[in-house]
Amino acid sequence: MSFVRSRKLSSMLLFPLLFACLMGASKGGNFFQDFDITWGDQRAKILNGGQLLTLSLDKASGSGFQSKNEYLFGRIDMQIKLVAGNSAGTVTAYYLSSQGSTHDEIDFEFLGNATGEPYILHTNVFSQGKGNREQQFYLWFDPTKAFHAYSIVWNQQRIIFLVDNIPIRVFHNLESIGVPFPNKQAMRIHSSLWNADDWATRGGLVKTDWTQAPFTASYRNFKANACIWSPASPCTSTSPNSVQDNAWQVQALDAPGRNRLRWVQQKYMIYNYCTDLKRFPQGLPPECKRSRFL
């Protein structure tokens, strides 16, 4: 699902990159400056002087955008208000991705539902072209009534998925036991709104109601504290002076963070590949042996 390009980086770049990335927070983003609309004709719009972006879906097409920059590690924040009403069959995807058969990807996907039924938040991590690491959640609020923040922290040690700054998932770097981890390919930020009624809602049983179109999702308050990658410079600070806003480089969960993660996963998780014994009859993936609350 990637409308992307990427460049693979050799492991030689990683250690210089870490030293180069002693940097700080970026200012709040402007969609004109930070993103390109990649498809959908006039269905994607940048409004309010670059402070708001909307994606729309109708029967003819969806729409999407991607970041101008590629990133190799960082913290990415975006506030999103999802499609309201009967959103069954629609998917709003918000993710980091590189390109190709061995691409890396870090996914938020919001699976629409019939009016009154909850959205499903689908997460996944691809490394070297391999995914199959799905975890799914209900949300503890209505994501169509107001904007909510969805964040990805990506450093050499782990990937943290956050909703309104509450951790919902952690994927650790376990290369030491043979689990690939995304750390060599720069990725762009992507988002798209598209029709997936062959699978998105109740396995495809509930179809998109086109009488409700156009469907619209809205975006604001993009922020990237990150290493911007380019061929000439493996890591350029998004703003180089704040130690506080560079906390993402070593960010982990403290005790309150682990408690919040446990609360989300015990109350709102509806699928975890690490407990799906039928899917993995030969044994669960090795990363599943580590406590998900660490």
Residues with catalytic function: 105, 109
Which of 39-56 are b and which e, b meaning 16 or more Cβ less than 10 Å from the residue's Cβ? ebeebbbbeeeebebbbb
CA distance between the termini of the chain: 30
Please name the amino acid found at residue 226.
Answer: A
- C-alpha distances out from residue 39 to 36, 45, 70, 190, 254, Å: 9, 11, 19, 11, 41
Match 């408690």 to its residue by tokens. 259
Query: In whole angstroms, what separates CA 177 from the centre of its chain?
Result: 25
How is residue 198 written in tokens? 């062959």
Write the burial class of residue 186 (CB in 10 Å: 0-12 exposed, 13-18 middle, 19+ buried). buried
Query: In whole angstroms, what separates CA 209 from the centre of its chain?
Result: 27
Report phi then psi at 155, rounded to 5: -130, -175
Tally of residues, the chain: 294
Question: Following DSSP, what letter does each residue of 266-291 receive, concatenated?
Answer: HHTEEEEGGG-TTT-TT---GGGGS-
Element spanning 17, H or E: helix 14-20
The closest alpha carbon to 152, from 92, 106, 221, belongs to 106
- Residue pair 157/250 in contact (Cβ under 8 Å)? The answer is yes
